[in-house]
Structure 1
């Protein structure tokens, strides 16, 4: 069990799947952190390298890492948040995939390899700090909210330097700074390809955006998405937001099957058998019955899944599929009976 400081507690993210150390006197992770992580994780594959800049206590980093086997580097300047991040990563047994670095993001190119990251995520300070501007007297909170140690252009320049060609940056920010974000991205060889606004209630102005920018690509083709509504009339999170915060039964099944591969047998509407391979049985069956699974099953719907085997190695599952398909009908019937399958 990790040791907690005087004002620290352990909170939970994504239902009870992730634990995180937080300071009661500092900023805890909020919805913007989870929105950034959710939108980015949809683009992350197991072989990817991801850098999370201005990472705080690694809430976004761990959320993304929960859904894949990618490698992560998180950079946070504040000592307290860095310590919480290290202990949170340990709590979730992610030490082999998440490295946390305590330093200013400005220095990241000195210890992170340039031009080597597939994805960079950023949850930066939202507000400028012009001379005479009043900031939070709590230094920790002031650094988190205001550009005291790094500014928007510097963050974007570092992100661009870390990304591979065609790599993607995901940034969560305030909509009033979208013009600056687009300008600095263009200046540093990135083009904004998608802007996803969020509104508290339909009909209100957007109060948050997620920006997706791609390195070294044409500047045209930007998509401005329909705003995502966050709250209902009672102030409760709407279903699209709830699924980001809490794990659904469908997502739980997908996660439990991550890294697992299946050989399966379908019985078609004409009585024939079809052997296949997948890493998601429910989705694959749905695709077959929608006519998108295979040419063979498209004209023999509806189909029913009558048997499956699980493998930890993709090659073994594919080998089993090939083996089944290259036998006679009589042999397949004998195989199914031996495995107590009624057809």
Structure 2
């Protein structure tokens, strides 16, 4: 499977086992996306269903997936950028948790499900396009920065349409648009509940905000937080910002038990997907007739593919996901991962 195309690179996002494909001549992952993902994920449960509007190369979904087991629908209008996101999902083996869609976010209520999602996260275009305004000649950058394909009011309405009752919208934006955000939220049955400003350095004006709004609830109870300072006076990131950008070292150095999803090629040519924390022992058990009822009558079996996880639930979900696909799909999956059978 060819992951990288011309003028692309692979970078890391948050932890050293979460990677993202980025174009060298396009916008890379920004603090906006990381702040959005970090604060939104604190309210996510493993069973939640989340929509990532204006998702770009999938940075927010990829980042948030480090912290939970929720399912994400990432929506991006530009085919090339959506393709990058899809390949990043495959690179991280998250196909069973993140689904990438290539269409305008305006179509989301029709193409997905209305009144269905627990959360919407959105890092939208920040700037209007006044008459006569000269926008970036690079179409990819222009669509990402300016309200060409969708505007702020439409984004808020789409978010409200997608959310179930009491569902939450998290939006990152510029502080000068806060009044409009509040107005459109109230217009479309979303009550602003929390606003978090950010400043580059102490004493400066806010240059970024996060807004949380809840669908179909009382409009009182708004919390306006103190501004979070991003940089020290010498330009270095504050310690609390470094924790958002990079997994803390004390967690990185933990000795974690490994779990595996694996695929066996059976003697009759069929495939068997399984889960274990010891690949060698598990293969021996299968060939001894003690591994599973399915493989007992199809020995000898050969392990042709495996994936490693730090979390038992993720390995089990990967096994379930693999088993519930057709033979044709499994063959394509294995070929895409350079497995000969």
Flag whether TM exceeds 0.5 (same fold). Answer: yes
Point out 4+ residue stretches in structure 1 off by more than 6 angstroms.
none
Distance in 2 separating the partners of 1:241 and 1:14:
12
SS of match in other structure, 1:207: strand
Supply the RMSD in Å over aligned alpha carbons: 2.0
Is contact 2:36-2:210 (8 Å) kept? Answer: yes
Offset, 1:85: 0.1
Is contact 2:55-2:123 (8 Å) kept? Answer: yes
Offset, 1:15: 3.8
Distance in 2 separating the partners of 1:66 and 1:27:
22
Distance in 2 separating the partners of 1:216 and 1:236:
41
Offset, 1:3: 2.8
Offset, 1:2: 3.7
SS of match in other structure, 2:206: coil
The residue aligned with 1:215 is: 215
Matched, 1:99 2:115: no
Distance in 2 separating the partners of 1:7 and 1:133:
30
The residue aligned with 1:160 is: 160
Distance in 2 separating the partners of 1:176 and 1:96:
38
SS of match in other structure, 1:220: coil
Distance in 2 separating the partners of 1:207 and 1:312:
40
The residue aligned with 2:111 is: 111
Deviation sequence 1:169-220 (CA, Å, 0-9, x none): 0000000000000000000000110000000111110000000000001111
The count of residues paired between Structure 1 and Structure 2 equals 262
Offset, 1:91: 0.6
Distance in 1 separating the partners of 2:149 and 2:39:
27
Q: Relative to 1, partners in 2 of residues 1:149 and 1:256: Cα closer, same or farther, differing over 3 Å?
A: farther
Distance in 2 separating the partners of 1:172 and 1:255:
35
The residue aligned with 2:122 is: 122
The residue aligned with 1:17 is: 17
Gaps of 5+ in 2: 260-310, 314-341
SS of match in other structure, 1:16: strand
In the superposition, the TM-score normalised over structure 2's length comes to 0.74
Offset, 1:158: 0.4
Distance in 1 separating the partners of 2:217 and 2:252:
36
Distance in 2 separating the partners of 1:213 and 1:158:
13
The residue aligned with 1:86 is: 86
The residue aligned with 1:290 is: none
Gaps of 5+ in 1: 260-310, 314-343
Distance in 1 separating the partners of 2:173 and 2:258:
32
Q: Which has the larger radius of gyration?
A: 1
Offset, 1:130: 1.4
